[in-house]
Amino acid sequence: MTCSASLKRTVVAALAASCALPLFGCHRSQEYEATVEITRLSAARKDETGKTTSADVELNYVDCPGTQTDVVRGGNDFSACVEKLKVGDRVKVKLQHRWDPEGHYTFDVLDIAGCPRVPDPNDEASFKIVRECSDWRVNGAAVGFQCNYEDKAELTKACPWFKKR
Amino acid sequence: METRDERAGEPRFRRRIDKVELLGLVVLVLVVLFAFANKVGAQPSGAKGVGGGAAAAAAKLAPADPKTAGAKPAEAEEAKAGDPRDAAGEAAAVGDKQEAGDKEDPVEQLKTAVLADPSKGGVPVHKEGLFRSPFAAPNKPHVHARVGLLLETVEEFDIKKGAFTAHFYLSLTSDKPMPPKIDLKPTNGKIEERDLLADLPTFKMWKITGTFHIQPDLHSYPFDTQELDIELEDDSNGQDILTLHPDVDHTFLDAGFNVPGWDTSFLRARILTHYYPDRFDNDDLYYSRFMFTLGVKRFATSAVFTVFVPALVIVLISLSGLWFPRNELEVRSNATTPMLAAAVLFHFALMQELPATAYLSRADKLMMGVYGCLFLHMVSSWIWFVFDESRTELIFRWAKYICAPVTLIVMAIAIVL
């Protein structure tokens, strides 16, 4: 009888723990600050007066291992603000690491050198190239290269906003 | 404790046993028949499907470029003669200029070859240079070209056929002028459309759409990573005049690139210094083959929920039957035998999506574990009819003690393997 009651308690506890699992699995956003190098600045769209209404800024995360390129497009105010920057500048950026409904983490650039940017969920022009390339060797000879797109421990340890899983 | 069957007496007990056995046998026979019919039906239709698909693809692609399809010249000529409209289509797709170049190049190279000793065969050779092959070009300058590839999209990836369609940009750059006629042709597929975007001596670029074939690796299915290969080779320029090098700075996936249902894992670009087995005497020329590989991995969450969860549910339902005593034999059997049918159907549904392999995938091993567990659970019921009725309770108890942990161990092994 005691054994049966204990078994029931164990089963109920296991069921309760299973139901509570999703609570522990919630995906919280986190903000980071990083140093980047500006590698390209260009106007993507201009109005009839020649004023830039949309600008692209290409960034390289210089403190992160591998090749990480981020092309960020911003609107009117952002475009006017980033005009003060030039290619080769090393500046601070604010990032938000968040859960993407597609089933992985991603991050948005919220601010470049004091220029705030509001990410637009319909923006299809901004993109990231996050990869680590190394020589591909056969019989000891380098015959090409391989670039990995998956999470790498070394990268995510140094720059946690690149963590996807 | 006396069971209901024991109280009922021997004759009634035997009648019930016969019914259960009969039910089990009928279900098993139906399952075996269904499985056999499914397999017999699937094999020819699968092969027909693949063949039909390939034939359809060939029929569609042959007009675009019979030469790139790897057809022999005679076959290509036949294809052209058979359908002039298609030949015209090919010319439109590839370009008259390029087509003319393809025909001239080998002749030009063969002009410098000499027939050294007719008694040793009729193949002329080059006496100068590194290679004796008649297709060598000892008097032409040697050029190193860098190959860049931007993969735009991958579509219609069919793992059963081992085929996919890719849209990509291909660029060749060099510091010295490249041979005037360069035609990189796929060695593992067919080109549907090729647009020449730049044709300068030191810079050439194409926009290409083609269908390529791969050999899927299903050892780890459903946690498999597939390598989608695009292999290109210029068989008109040997390595004596053109050496290719992969260009890491200009090999990318397009912004927003993704393969539906798959996670991008890696890309690889390499050059294979390709040597053909002797096609004729002195066939010693090497060729540079550019090999681009996109590694895609099946989403793990999807794999778990579509393969592992159903298999485990089948085993758990069957396992629950062990807690029914002998007087509930029908319920106990109904928890196990229909699960065997479910497992077989589930397994065949999984196999329908994949090509036949000479090895077991992880999913196959999992299903072997499932079959083993279901067999064990059925044996735990059948064993009652082997031993004396006085041991009914003992068998009931020990069936639980043995089968439950063995099921867990077998399934753990099946999942890990």
pLDDT on residue A123 = 87
Residue B291 Cα, gap to closest chain A Cα (Å) = 9
> CB burial class (10 A; 0-12, 13-18, 19+) of residue B17?
middle
Contact status, residue A83 vs residue A66, Cβ threshold 8 Å: no
Question: Do B253 and B318 share a domain, yes or no?
Answer: no
- The mean per-residue pLDDT over the stretch B242-248 comes to 94
Question: Do B217 and B265 share a domain, yes or no?
Answer: yes
Taking 50 as the threshold, does the pLDDT of residue B174 lie above it? yes
Taking 60 as the threshold, does the pLDDT of residue A33 lie above it? yes
Q: What is the pLDDT of residues B344-353, one digit of tens each?
A: 999 999 999 8
CATH number reported for the structural domain that contains residue B290 in this entry: 2.70.170.10
Taking 60 as the threshold, does the pLDDT of residue B20 lie above it? yes
- The mean per-residue pLDDT over the stretch A1-29 comes to 65
CATH number reported for the structural domain that contains residue B395 in this entry: 1.20.58.390
pLDDT on residue B24 = 72
pLDDT band at A4 (very low <50, low <70, confident <90, very high): low
Sign of CA dihedral B158, B161, B166, B172: positive
Residue among B251, B282, B256 nearest B268 (CA): B251
Tell me if B365 is assigned to some domain. yes
- The mean per-residue pLDDT over the stretch B10-26 comes to 59
pLDDT band at B110 (very low <50, low <70, confident <90, very high): confident
Q: What backbone torsions phi and psi does residue B313 show, to the nearest 5 degrees?
A: -65, -40
CA distance B78 to A106: 55
Q: Is the model more confident about B71 or about B42?
A: B42
Tell me if B119 is assigned to some domain. no
Tell me if B260 is assigned to some domain. yes
Lowest mean pLDDT among A82-91, B45-54, B225-234, B402-411: B45-54
Question: Do B162 and B82 share a domain, yes or no?
Answer: yes
Does A133 contact chain B (CB < 8 Å)? yes
pLDDT on residue B105 = 52
* CA-angle at A24, arms to A18 and A27, nearest 5°: 135
Tell me if B6 is assigned to some domain. no
Question: Do B323 and B350 share a domain, yes or no?
Answer: yes
Last-in-domain residue among B251, B271, B297: B297
Contact status, residue B178 vs residue B242, Cβ threshold 8 Å: yes
Share above pLDDT 90 across residues of chain B, in percent, rounded to a whole number: 44
For residue B316, the enclosing domain spans: 18-42+301-416
pLDDT band at B157 (very low <50, low <70, confident <90, very high): very high
pLDDT on residue B107 = 55
Question: Do B242 and B365 share a domain, yes or no?
Answer: no
pLDDT on residue B197 = 96
Contact status, residue A110 vs residue A72, Cβ threshold 8 Å: no
Does A71 contact chain B (CB < 8 Å)? yes
**Which of A103, A125, A147 has the CB atom closest to B267's CB atom?**
A147
Question: Do B204 and B151 share a domain, yes or no?
Answer: yes
- The mean per-residue pLDDT over the stretch B321-325 comes to 88
Question: Do B79 and B33 share a domain, yes or no?
Answer: no
pLDDT band at B136 (very low <50, low <70, confident <90, very high): confident
Q: How many domains does chain B have?
A: 2
Question: Do B222 and B280 share a domain, yes or no?
Answer: yes
Lowest mean pLDDT among A9-18, A87-96, B170-179, B208-217: A9-18
Q: Which residues contact B162 (CB under 8 A, 6 or more apart)?
A: B213, B214, B215, B216, B355
Contact A144 B264 (CB under 8 A): no
Q: What is the pLDDT of residues B293-313, one digit of tens each?
A: 999 999 888 889 999 999 999
Contacts of B269 in chain A (CB under 8 A): 136, 144-145
Indicate the SS3 state at residue B375.
helix
Tell me if B116 is assigned to some domain. no
Question: Do B252 and B366 share a domain, yes or no?
Answer: no
Question: Do B321 and B187 share a domain, yes or no?
Answer: no
Last-in-domain residue among B232, B267, B297: B297
Contact A144 B270 (CB under 8 A): yes
**Residue type for position B303:** A
DSSP summary character for residue B304:
I
Contacts of B270 in chain A (CB under 8 A): 136, 138, 143-145
Taking 80 as the threshold, does the pLDDT of residue B98 lie above it? no
Lowest mean pLDDT among A108-117, B79-88, B374-383, B389-398: B79-88
- Strands B262-275, A141-148: pairing kind: antiparallel
- The mean per-residue pLDDT over the stretch B211-220 comes to 95
Tell me if B48 is assigned to some domain. no
Question: Do B145 and B25 share a domain, yes or no?
Answer: no
- Strands B143-158, B242-253: pairing kind: parallel
Tell me if B236 is assigned to some domain. yes
Last-in-domain residue among B297, B329, B349: B297
pLDDT on residue A8 = 67
Q: What is the pLDDT of residues A120-158, one digit of tens each?
A: 888 888 988 888 899 999 999 999 999 998 878 888 899
Tell me if B110 is assigned to some domain. no
For chains A and B, what is the number of CB pairs under 8 angstroms? 49
Question: Do B70 and B167 share a domain, yes or no?
Answer: yes
pLDDT band at B95 (very low <50, low <70, confident <90, very high): very low
Contacts of A144 in chain B (CB under 8 A): 246, 268-271, 291
pLDDT on residue A140 = 92
Q: What is the pLDDT of residues A58-72, one digit of tens each?
A: 999 998 888 888 999
